């Protein structure tokens, strides 16, 4: 099975959706490592409960981004990672890291890219007054939140709603599309050409709420 490593900094609810998809047979992959850059990331707890190997590499202990990324690359290679899955991983990766795993890193972002890049996608979209929020799964390239888009889900919202409320609604869709995209990749149905992604033979990705 495809060996995936999940990188997380926080709660790890996306990690949980991936663990659950593997356990119910909806994702033909093995999580070979959960790597966190914070000791207090609840993602670590989720991994341990599921019996998944973990690594904690603290960015604060490295003088440069390159040194931090070099340590992560060593851990990921030692674990046999074939696909790097960023799930709420809140560190920018160096070009060196991205080139090491070229075309094999994906990210989920809580906005409809290319709108609202950055660390506060939901709050920025809500502050802007959007009526449609959403989330995006994309390949990672050397520019933040810029790589080729694999899937998106659209989530209606109202300007009367707080960022917290919208965030919960978006997160529920993240939990649906991320394991789905991983299964497409695990079954080799995703092709990246330039910045265009084609997905074969899936039935259509679900992009609107039920």
Total interface residues for ligand GAR by CB under 6 A: 15
Candidate list 14, 94, 180, 183; residue touching ligand GAR; CB under 6 A: 14
13 contacts: CB under 8 Å, gap ≥ 6: 88, 171, 174, 175
Active site residue 138: no
Candidate list 38, 46, 72, 88; residue touching ligand GAR; CB under 6 A: 88
- Name the closest residue to ligand GAR (Cβ): 88
What is the rounded distance in angstroms from the CA atom of residue 197 to the CA atom of residue 175? 21
Q: Is 80 annotated as a binding residue?
A: no
Site string for ligand GAR, 104-133 (x = CB under 6 A): ----xxx--------x-x------------
Structure tokens, 30? 């093995």
Which among 11-19, 22-30, 69-77, 187-195 is the span making contact with ligand GAR, rule CB under 6 A? Answer: 11-19
DSSP annotation string for 123-150: HHHHHHT-SEEEEEEEE--SSTT-S-EE
User: Helices (H) and strands (E) in the chain — how many of each?
Assistant: 6, 9
Which among 6-14, 55-63, 72-80, 158-166 is the span making contact with ligand GAR, rule CB under 6 A? Answer: 6-14
Reported residue count of the chain is 210
Q: Is 37 annotated as a binding residue?
A: no
Residue with tokens 């070009």: 95
> In 10-33, which positions are buried (b, 16+ CB within 10 angstroms) versus exposed (e)?
bbbbbbbbbbebbeeeebebebbb
Candidate list 10, 53, 156, 205; residue touching ligand GAR; CB under 6 A: 10
Interface with ligand GAR by CB under 6 A: which residues? 8, 10-14, 87-88, 108-110, 119, 121, 171, 174
- Which residues are the active-site residues? 109
Binding residues for (6R)-10-formyltetrahydrofolate: 65, 90-93, 107
């Amino acid at each position: 099975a495809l060996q995936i490593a999940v990188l997380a900094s926080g709660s790890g609810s996306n990690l949980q959706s991936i663990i659950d998809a593997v356990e119910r047979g909806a994702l033909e992959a093995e999580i070979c490592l959960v790597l966190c850059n914070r000791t207090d990331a609840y993602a670590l707890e989720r991994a341990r409960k599921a019996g998944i190997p973990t690594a904690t590499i603290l960015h604060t202990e490295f003088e440069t981004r390159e040194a931090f990324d070099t340590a992560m690359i060593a851990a990921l290679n030692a674990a046999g990672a074939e696909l790097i899955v960023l799930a709420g991983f809140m560190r920018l990766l160096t070009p060196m890291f991205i080139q090491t795993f070229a075309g094999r890193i994906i990210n989920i972002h809580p906005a409809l890219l290319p709108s609202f890049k950055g660390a506060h996608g939901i709050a920025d979209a809500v502050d802007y007054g959007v009526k449609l929020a959403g989330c995006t799964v994309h390949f990672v390239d050397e520019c933040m939140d810029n790589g080729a888009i694999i899937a998106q889900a659209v989530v209606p919202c109202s300007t009367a709603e707080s960022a917290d409320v919208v965030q919960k609604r978006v997160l529920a869709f993240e939990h649906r599309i991320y394991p789905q995209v991983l299964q497409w990749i695990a079954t080799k149905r995703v092709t990246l050409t330039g910045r265009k992604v084609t997905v074969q033979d899936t039935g259509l990705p679900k992009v609107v709420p039920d």
